[in-house]
Amino acid sequence: MNTNASTTTIDRKDIIGVTKKRSHRTFVTNRKR
């Protein structure tokens, strides 16, 4: 159970990181325009 919980937490963190990176990239692209 503990292993599954930790894995889920890591997955959530990764998803959040990807989302932040994507939004940041979009922000930079919009600023260049």
Q: Tokens 């260049």 — which residue? A: 32
Q: How far apart are CA 10 and CA 2, in angstroms?
A: 12
pLDDT at res. 14: 80
pLDDT at res. 33: 67
Q: How far apart are CA 1 and CA 9, in angstroms?
A: 13
Which of the pair, 14 or 10, is modelled with greater confidence? 14
Two structure tokens written together for 32: 């260049």
Mean pLDDT of 21-25: 78
pLDDT for residue 2 is more than 60: no
pLDDT at res. 7: 64
Global confidence as pTM: 0.37
